[in-house]
Structure 1
């Protein structure tokens, strides 16, 4: 991501702090299905192409079966449930496609790189991280949005911390991910209070590598979102100094699709969107049913202490929807803010990188 190299108040920590274990690194690997064997006297051939399509003849002679590569959803959420019960596979089968779970879900920056490298076909992130990625040479477009999670994102401090207001952050160290949700939240909070960004020391860390640094007191605060905020609040004695609502966040969640895949398989993108929308509504109605889909023990499990908080945040979440003109206006506000704060070199025009999912060929059930 592009950011000011001249900012003397920013601090980098070692790439692999002692509190970080290797098994938490995000691994994005290509997971293409193997080509099927030739059938007796059939003359068909198989090959794998860079657009993620598996050229295995689908049943019924209806053409090649397409593979949609998605980051593994982990242990909670409707995609995890869709992986376990096969409902996503069935939804994609209606458009002669199947799913390959590739790597693991995590920060959008590495996912954007995987999309650009044709190692991944779809991924979810924030509009803030998408804007930062679009400032580079993007190979993806956005096709769905979820309105800002104003209850689950914000700036965390430890219980008992002397930091009581945003102004108390002056001269302190705040952990954040560069060019994404957390840096956006911090900068929004500082601007709201008329504080220069140079008065606060930004410690750039990947979100999934920050918990130990925050818990050990190496930083004074942590700007983050629900995935990491919920366990920090429930298990580590933390609370929000300010949340997304307090800072007026426009930080939408967005779904991105690799441009080449969208151009060649619009019906698959539309079917996948339909699944997101329908199952997002189901999770919002009964979020407890979507926790600990595979296991209720171990590092991926939502603990009993986290459960009520996770359910409360999930009930306030919006549902995946098409991107409207009103959303585009707010995307533009985020892009302009990042340019003003010199996170990007100029204002990124998001509009050319959007897809109207309602206009795509095919029909999602």
Structure 2
């Protein structure tokens, strides 16, 4: 596949333009509803599919099918990423209107890191073909591990990245709007939103380690690997806001994703020395596995209502907005004592009588003289006590 330099530049230009449009459309913090998320999801999917049709027309059916196979793999694996994001946002009780900015920067970082991984992976494969055996073995192991751990839920408080961040980065106890850094008493401090961004970037890197070998199993064309990744990633933010409240219904999706990884691992092994599985067959198998796992999940869980993603008990407000959290701020200090207070906190995902973030922060405060004042804004979970 001979791709001229101008084609690379054109693709990069389109990506930058799309990011600029997205940033302009969401320049003001607001809660992104299901309708808006569905509209943006349709826009990103249209761009991804449209580019695949263009590749098909310009370079033929084989390369077009390879692109769509890679795009489908990346898009499906991204759903697992959405689940992790939901847990992170719930753990930190990030107001919904602040989440888009974190995801925008997270996706921007993911594009950069994946570009680096793709370039490195392509160079390694070109110079040492035996690496494909390692890629295939890694995909098979990852698929097996995903099946074994399909019912496990990540716990952000146990994340090494978060522990390192808390140890070395001075951080306030409160959110300060969409700011990642604030100045207090002459010192620059991180806000909890920066810790959230750091965790999002770490999860993107971890998922890239799984997904990059998977797409190399269906195509070794660097241009197709990069563009399939890019167009799949660009729609991640809208996908999150569309699926975050429904993610609990995809009960068989991890099994489906695991089978996809096992399939592409087998395909890679066969391609090396034995037999090349035609791309249409590979694409059909991937689509069938994903379709069956998603369809079965939705059928078994039919009738369940949309709800906020599950998270640790100390993420009291789930996906509440900043306005809702500010309205209940007095309750954080005294705890709900009447029926009105109990119903209000229950509506936002906290049981009556449960200590509020302010109470926990007061009990667990570690004496940091630069911590933000109690009324600075919505609180993130209190930091762990340091020795």
TM-score strictly above 0.5: no
Structure showing greater radius of gyration is 2
Larger relative CO (CA 8 A, sep 6+): 1 or 2? 2
- Please state which structure has a larger fraction of its residues in helix: 2
> Aligning the two structures, in what range does the TM-score lie when normalised by the shorter sequence?
under 0.3
Q: Choose between structure 1 and 2: higher strand proportion.
A: 1
The two structures have a TM-score, normalised by structure 2, of 0.23
